Amino acid sequence: MSPKRAIDAPGAFRWARNIFAVVVSLAVIVGGGWFVADQIGEKWASFSAESEDYTDDPTSEEVQVTIPEGATGTSIAQILVDADVVKTKRGFIKEWTARESEATKIQVGTYKLRKQLSNKTALSMLLNPENRVMNSLRLADGKWLAQQVQTFVDKTGVPAEVWQAVFKDPEAVGVPDWNEGKTIEGYLFPDTYDIPLKGDDEKDETYAKRVVKQIVSEFKTTVSKLDFATKAKALDMTPYQALILASIIEKETGPNDEDRPKIARAILNRMKPGSPTGGALQLDSTVQYANYRNDANPPVQAYSEDAELCKKSAYNTYPSYTSPTTGVTCVNPKYKGGFPPGPIASPSEKSLEAAVNPAEGDWYYFMVVNLDTGEIAYASTQAEHEANNQKLQAWCAASAENHKKCFGN
């Protein structure tokens, strides 16, 4: 049997060699197939990516798109496709997913882009704040809500009644949690704002809330920087009372910023036990607000009229008033002393700071004695205050022009 085995051995070897050759050939074929498939896959991926993307053309047509509140990557992709900014939703979503940590920072608003951009360029342009189309809105110091409405209307085209409704919903626009008021009076922080344009399909109310939220956010940033709430509590005030004080400071102060902390101290002194004013503020700025807070164009005058001083309102900080010309006394039962129920204007940062950083002093009274320079005189007694009043009277009588500034006629 062994010789047969020996004889059979070459045949067995040839069989094994043939099998090996087949396997090697298959390996080459299959290996080649893997190579070819890999090459085809790369080509297909490249083709697929190109079919889902544009090649940037710096001369392409400019277009504006609006990203609404609550937009997702998918909805933004559809907006861009509809405007022919990107080629396909799928392509943009791929870019969005690859850069998701950046992409989620896209802000609500209108953007200036170009048609037929690459997905990468389109996303980068949306992330660049320089491409946002903005509208400049200037809010002046010391204005109350009714005086601000027309500014919003003129800059946005949204009707006055929409703004008025939003102003009455403080929680909807993100006022601080220490707010005690029923409107946003005091929170329209004076500054110049770049506000976004209203989207074509955006509701007026939604847009108005978005704009006011931006402004209130600036207020909150400012009071946080000033450590406003903590400092107010150190002065035995709630933050809301400190805001009321800041609004009064804004209305009572002239052009000289050094007066702000002094006025803050005089007002706080008036509310102390034993104050010569009996805890009443007796301020004409509050009288004006009590009479004209719903008016956009109130009269401008240094002195309040008898009828204005007799207004029955919690904002009129005169609990009673006796006319020097008629001798008649009127009583305002709605005012119980201390602060009025809410702010009377939008205070500037300087007034907010002064409210929680009052100067040291024993003044109870202050009075402007020159309406041109804004000079304010301070007094600790009623007699000193009367002397200062005579200085103002003399200034008012010095010329017809001065008289008009003092009395409005």
- What is the full DSSP assignment across 273-332? TT-TTTT----HHHHHHHHHTT-SS----SS--HHHHT---TT---SEEE-TTT--EEE-
**Angle 193-197-200 from CA coordinates, rounded to 5°:** 165
Looking at this protein, which amino acid is placed at residue 213?
K
Query: Which pLDDT value is given to residue 1?
Result: 37
Neighbours of 285 (CB within 10 A): 22
d(CA 188, CA 163): 12
d(CA 76, CA 89): 9
Residues of the chain short of pLDDT 50, as ranges, are 1-37, 39-49
- Report phi then psi at 110, rounded to 5: -100, 135
d(CA 117, CA 57): 7
d(CA 45, CA 32): 20
Looking at this protein, which amino acid is placed at residue 218?
E
Neighbours of 38 (CB within 10 A): 10
Could you tell me the pTM of the whole model? 0.77
Looking at this protein, which amino acid is placed at residue 143?
K
Place of tokens 């059979």: 8
Query: Which pLDDT value is given to residue 78?
Result: 96
**How many residues are given for the chain?**
409
d(CA 260, CA 388): 18
d(CA 146, CA 152): 11
The 8 Å CB, 24+ separation contacts for 92-101 are: 92/119, 92/122, 92/123, 94/52, 94/119, 95/119, 95/120, 95/122, 95/123, 96/123, 97/73, 99/123, 100/73
Measured torsion, CA atoms of residues 295, 297, 299, 300, in degrees rounded to the nearest 10 = 130
Q: What is the DSSP letter of 172?
A: G
Neighbours of 309 (CB within 10 A): 21
Helix (H) or strand (E) holding 385: helix 382-397
Contact call for residues 89 and 72 (beta carbons, < 8 A): no
Contact call for residues 114 and 85 (beta carbons, < 8 A): yes
Query: Which pLDDT value is given to residue 149?
Result: 97
- Report phi then psi at 195, rounded to 5: -100, 145
Neighbours of 383 (CB within 10 A): 9
- Report phi then psi at 172, rounded to 5: -70, -15
Query: Which pLDDT value is given to residue 4?
Result: 29
Query: Which pLDDT value is given to residue 69?
Result: 78
d(CA 371, CA 150): 28
